[in-house]
Amino acid sequence: MPNQDSQRPASERHVPVLLDRCVNLLAPGIERANAEGRRAIVVDCTLGMGGHSEAILQRFENLHLIGLDRDEQAHELAGARLAPFQDRIDLVHAVYDEIADVVEDLGFPGIDGVLFDLGVSSLQLDERERGFAYSYDAPLDMRMDTSVGPTAEDLVNDLDRDELLRIIRQWGEEKFAGRISTAIVEARAKSRISTTAELVEVIRSVVPAAAARNHGHPAKRTFQALRIAVNEELDVLERAIPAAMGALNIGGRVVVMSYHSLEDKITKRHFVQGSTSSAPPGFPVELEEHKAEYKVLTKGTEKPSEHEIAENSRAASARLRAVERVLKRS
């Protein structure tokens, strides 16, 4: 039976993370487009329940928004929330590394802003039957797009011990990955692991209680790792960040909120590469072909304030980076 949250409209269920800061960072690119006599085009690559998109559309009347999400349920909720703006939006069922193809298919030559709010969404966490949360018993699914691909149950029961170890260690940054992967293999030999509660119990059996007290729920990192693996999140992000940067008009901006170090490292690397001159060290004059195409807008990562965390506890681990396109080579 669906929980009570699933019956509420998106506007009541979802508090967007770092909302004002994200919109303010996107604003100059939108305003530049308007000053040039163009309607600004902004892509919300992680539509979710539409909170960020709604705020952008409300603030900027001369703007067209493209909303991407692989989650069909998100499209239903966001579509209802954004219905008042239906003549200014295109909501597309797509993974965000498809951004360049989507923009081209819709007939836009370039875009003026891109927003990524990475990781698992509030919708996916709140819908208990989706299997993203370790705190509720549910089928072990974790797919953001429930129409395709293997589930977390498939991975847990079908991958060999070494591959499970790699996933949990690399993508969950879990120091007990060896114990956990061995315990999973031993448990599934007796009976298939098919629910979140069954997996949590296996993990609890091998993670020391002291570690859980000091570092949060013992299953947190393993669930993160499996979710990343099921949805190929980091591979998708590796393709999506440069694709988004490449689609920008001059003055356009990409804003990225990440929630763990692996996402942030990928974002930082692409932003640094794009904003670094290619002139040889010691070269006396920076030629036009050596100039960086992008400028980093944030000093390191910006973090949420205590007030923002108090308003939305899910903002606590958010890290914000942004970049602007300053040059476009023909």
Does 181 lie in the same domain as 33?
Answer: no
CA atoms of 253 and 259, how far apart (whole Å):
20
Does 309 lie in the same domain as 208?
Answer: no
CA atoms of 47 and 198, how far apart (whole Å):
32
Q: List, as residue ranges, the binding site.
A: 50-52, 69, 96, 117, 124
Least confident of 124-133, 136-145, 164-173, 202-211: 124-133
**What's the pLDDT tens digit per position in 270-299?**
999 999 987 777 777 777 777 899 999 998
112 DSSP assignment: E
Last residue of a domain, one of 177, 208, 231: 231
**What's the pLDDT tens digit per position in 309-321?**
888 777 888 899 9
Does 312 lie in the same domain as 269?
Answer: yes
Does 140 lie in the same domain as 119?
Answer: no
Percent of all residues in the chain with a pLDDT value above 90, rounded to a whole number? 69
CATH number at residue 68: 3.40.50.150
Q: List, as residue ranges, the binding site for S-adenosyl-L-methionine.
A: 50-52, 69, 96, 117, 124
Whether 124 contacts 161, CB under 8 Å: no
Give 234's pLDDT tier (boundaries 50, 70, 90): very high
Does 109 lie in the same domain as 30?
Answer: yes
How high is the pLDDT of residue 96?
Answer: 95
Q: Is 248 helix (H, G, I), strand (E, B) or coil?
A: strand
Q: Is residue 96 part of a domain?
A: yes
**Which residue range is the domain that position 173 belongs to?**
133-231
Helix axis angle, 220-231 to 161-172, nearest 10°: 100
